[in-house]
Amino acid sequence: MKKQQYILAAISVIICLGLYLGGRTVPIKTASTHSADDGHDHANEKIDFKKDILAEAKLKLTPEQNQRITLLENAVIRGDVNEQQIHVYHQLARFWKDSVQLFEPYAFYTGEAAKLENTEKNLTFAARLFLDRLMATENPSMQTWLASNAKVLLENALKINPANDSSKIGLGACYIFGNISSNPMEGILPVREIVQRTPGNVYAQMVLGLGGKKSGQFDKAIERFQAILKVDPSNVEAIFNIAESYDQKGDKTNAIAYYEKAKQLVNIPEAKEELNKRIIELRK
C-alpha cells in the first residue's frame, strides 16, 4: 500500500469511527499473521467468533471478570426458555460494552439476543452495529465476519417487513463491502432500484457512492456523494469521500477544496490533524 493510501485509510477510519459506534476492537490473529502483500488470500480467512475473537478478548479480563463471564456463558447453556437466554445475551452484551469496552463481543451478543427476540426493531438495530463497523473496517476477514452477521439479521428483519428499504440497502451493503459474494451486483441492483425510486435516500446514495469508490469508479462515486449534499449540505462523510475520490483521481485542486470543507466540519482532533497533513502534502 502506498503512503497516500495509508493516509487516506487512516483519515477514513478515524472519521467513520467517530461518526459511528466507538469502542476498542479485538486484534484478530488470522488477520495479523500475514503481511498485506505476502500473496496470501486474506479474504478467504474465516473468523470464528469463539476461537478468534472471544478467546482473544478474554485475555484482557481480570480474574473476577473471567469468573463473571463464565457464569453468564453457563447460564445461556442452561437456559431452556427463550426469555432466559435473551436476558443473558443482553447481560453479556452490556458486560463487553460497559465493563470491557470491546466492540465485537458486544455486537455479537446483541445480535444473538435480537435473533431470539425476532422483532424488526431489534434485528435492524443489531444489524446496524455490524454495518457501521463494516464501513470503517479495512481488514478483509473482519469485513466478511461483520457482513455475514449483519446479513442474517437483515434477512430475518425482511421476513417481518419485506418493504423496509433501509434493510434492503443494508443487505446490499453486506454484498458490496463484505466479500461474501463473487458478484457484487447482487447487492448493487436492489440499492439502485431504491435510488431510482427515491433519489433523496441518503443511505442508498452513500452505499452506492462507497461501492463506486471501492471499485475505482470515482466519477460515479462523486455523483452519488454530491446527491447526498443536495439533501444534506453538511454531511461530513460525503464531503470527505468526495475529497478522497478526487485525491485518488489525481485532481489535487478539488481534493484540497473538499478536504478543507471536511476539516471545518469534523470535530475529531485526530481527523483534523490527518486531514491537514494530507492537504499540506497535496500542496507541495
More confident residue, 1 or 96: 96
Lowest pLDDT segment from 3-7, 62-66, 86-90: 3-7
- pTM score: 0.84
- Closest to 28 in 3D by CA, of 102, 135, 132: 102
- With a CB cutoff of 8 Å and minimum separation 6, the contacts of 241 are 209, 210, 213, 221, 225
Share of the chain above pLDDT 90, in %: 70
pLDDT tens by residue, 192-214: 999 999 999 999 999 999 999 99
**Under DSSP, is residue 217 helix (H, G, I), strand (E, B) or coil?**
coil
Whole-number Å distance between alpha carbons of 109 and 116: 11
- What is the structure's pLDDT at 103? 95
Q: Class of the 1-20+198-284 domain?
A: mainly alpha
Q: Which residue has the cell 431452556?
A: 80
pLDDT tens by residue, 46-74: 899 999 999 999 999 999 999 999 999 88
Mean pLDDT of 154-165: 98
Whole-number Å distance between alpha carbons of 203 and 169: 7
Lowest pLDDT segment from 131-135, 164-168, 205-209, 243-247: 131-135
> In this structure, are residues 228 and 206 in contact, taking their beta carbons and an 8 Å threshold?
yes
- Closest to 262 in 3D by CA, of 247, 284, 283: 247
- What is the structure's pLDDT at 272? 87
Whole-number Å distance between alpha carbons of 202 and 225: 9
